[in-house]
Amino acid sequence: MEQHQEQQLNGAMRSVSINSNGLATKLNGHIGGGSGSDETDNVRVGSAAAATLSSSTITTAENGSGRNVTSKTTNAAATATAAATTAAAATAISANANANQIQTTAGSNGNIGSASAADKKKMVYELCQQLLLTDEQVQELCYRILHELRRGLAKETHPKANVKCFVTYVQDLPNGNERGKFLALDLGGTNFRVLLIHLQENNDFQMESRIYAIPQHIMIGSGQQLFDHIAECLSNFMAEHHVYEERLPLGFTFSFPLRQLGLTKGLLETWTKGFDCAGVVNEDVVQLLKDAIARRGDVQIDVCAILNDTTGTLMSCAWKNHNCKIGLIVGTGSNACYVEKVEEAEMFDAPGNTKPHVLINTEWGAFGDNGALDFVRTEFDKDIDSHSINPGKQTFEKMISGMYMGELVRLVLAKMTNNGILFNGQGSEVLFTRGLFFTKYVSEIEADEPGNFTNCRLVLEELGLSNATDGDCANVRYICECVSKRAAHLVSAGIATLINKMDEPYVTVGVDGSVYRFHPKFHNLMVEKITQLIKPGIQFDLMLSEDGSGRGAALVAAVACREDILNSK
């Protein structure tokens, strides 16, 4: 299922304004200002305490008619205490979360199915508050993300860090003067692309490309099978485009966690996105590609650079906008890279280097694998994780990306249906089957104008739910909006943290990925939230990337060739 999600992330979404004043959550964090502590669960001392999230729990029993009824609702108020930072406020502060009890007017037997539409709407609203982030939670997220970035950058803590902050060895951004023909290979999902890109004057370029499928048996087969398949497709592409006899530079976009040892050497840390090819983890993927090309013996290629798709996105945007210093992907997965000062990147090993900056691939999808996100994770996030191909890994990504967004919505819908709140308690086999609520459904449902449920009803009919009321449709859309808005705010917390860390007066963020690209409100949600979170005086903008993982790979190769020519003079 998961490998088909990327092509399903189409359509357009519309987000209706959501009240994000959910229950407050205790701010767990770290004592002090940052990188000194390895722990993630110390209570950070602050001037105010917020209460522990206490989500509504609905327990059900069956009455004589076989319908689900509410047997009780529990929502214990929890108390969180924090010490004040100054002597004047040394008294411990405690805050009590108000119990959110679901009230119905269903009658003496408590039958939710006969509750009023207004009551059901309230139940949906209250359950969904756990999916919305308070301002306090977002601020705490920024603090924790910065802490994890510092751990990844530092030599001492890097081995244990979840956010690895891999050095890319890319130190030069495009200057617009790159010229010539370049190949690009883009591997990052169930398909991969080969591209031939001719960079010309005035930021102009010609590009030809072809998409090749990766069969399921190869995705979970041997590494040699995978790279032989890639080499065969590369050879066929070069023959089709009449460059079979030429020796062309190639940039290799490899969108998996990679520990780079140089611009053309990178070891795979772990597979993600449904791949599990044997014999590749801890191996140099450039060498594996070169070996596969050599086994064929029919084409001549110079692999000039290996890069992540976030690096490609940044480079692609920087070719046109020299302020671009951050690359972001929000698609099947999520990741970001940014320009860092060399002295901050302790893992950067380049003797004799005189350049001040280097690109860092954060691999932030793994943020929270150590529990740092537990204070905002829900039962639905934990369900997603436990049934994923990589339990306990890519925690941040599983709360954001298109691979999981549809399933998150489905889990909420299933719970509401089982409790009689949606569809009068009558679900369908499709609704209760994992992976069958596609992320494209979220797009389609949110594309309806307010008060109009045309797309929503079409989606529900595909799910085998033809008995939905307008109230059901409104509730379904609200659930989709909550999941989408949370994703946008999580991403915004990460980007704002990077912008603040870089402390440049103006930063352009290059963005790619189908969730961002096809969600007309995602951009606006991000701009609004990042504006709230960045330091005063800093300006930013978000720039949609034009084929970052393809053209960006060619640009990294072009810049590497440009540097080689300069160094040889």
Catalytic residue set? 273, 309
Phi, psi of 532 (to 5 degrees): -70, -30
Neighbour tally for 294: CB within 10 Å: 9
Q: Which two tokens stand for residue 514?
A: 């189908």
3-class SS of residue 336? strand
3-state secondary structure of 547: coil
Helix, strand or coil, per DSSP, at residue 342: helix
Q: H helices of 354-465, where?
A: 379-386, 395-398, 402-418, 439-447, 454-462
For the four alpha carbons of 224, 230, 233 and 237, in that order, the dihedral sign comes to: negative
The structure tokens listed for 314 are 């940044």
Query: How do the residues of the chain divide into helix, strand and coil, expressed in percent and rounded to 5?
Result: 40, 20, 40
Residue with tokens 């298109």: 402
Q: Which residues pair with 254 in a beta bridge?
A: 187
User: String of b and e for 261-290 (b: at least 16 CB within 10 Å)?
Assistant: eebbbbbbbbbbbbbebeebeeebbbebbb
H or E element at residue 388: none
Q: Determine whether 410 is exposed, middle or buried from the number of CB atoms within 10 Å of its CB (0-12, 13-18, 19+).
A: buried
Of 176, 495, 509, 503, nearest to 323 (Cα)?
509
Name 300's Cβ contacts closer than 8 Å, sequence gap at least 6. 246, 247
Max Cα-Cα span within the chain: 89
Residue 485's φ and ψ, nearest 5 degrees, are -65, -40
Q: If you write DSSP's letter for every residue of 159-187 in order, what string do you get?
A: GG-SS--EE--------S---EEEEEEEE
522 phi, psi to nearest 5 deg: -60, -45
